[in-house]
Amino acid sequence: MTSRRSLLILAAALAAAPPLARAEEQKKKGGGLTYLQLQTLSATVLRGDGRRGVMTVEVGVDIPNNGLRARAQISQPRLRAAYVQALQTYASGLGPGAPPDADYISRMLQTETDHVLGGPGGKLLLGTILIN
């Protein structure tokens, strides 16, 4: 009898877990109210051993202006497309096994940010840059 109760309690607890997990997924990951986080970018590179690898870059944009931030949220697909195109162009010129230049990537993606948003106002922030 006790094992049945334990099993019912466990089943009820597991049934309540998915809604709690979904509520946590909807929370903003971080960076404050003015921060717009984008999906991880990826580009193909040549690794030191000659095989293909993947460079992944985490990016976000800090936009204090509410109107510009609303425009950036609507323009997320355009921002992402511009970033991926610029990153792929950079990665194709990267020598085999060469480390990525974070300063250059930051300047390049900031230029794309200003172009898509129609001028300055959003500051590009880089996260992790990995080559696998």
- pLDDT band at residue 46, thresholds of 50, 70 and 90? confident
What are the phi and psi torsion angles at 7 (to 5°)? -65, -40
More confident residue, 128 or 48: 128
Domain 29-131 falls in which CATH fold?
A: Tetrahydropterin Synthase; Chain A (3.30.479)
DSSP-derived 3-state class of residue 17: helix
Q: Where are the domains of the chain?
A: 29-131
Residue 13: CB partners within 8 Å, gap ≥ 6?
none
Q: What mean pLDDT do residues 118-132 have?
A: 93
Whether 55 contacts 131, CB under 8 Å: yes
Whether 109 contacts 59, CB under 8 Å: yes
- pLDDT band at residue 15, thresholds of 50, 70 and 90? low
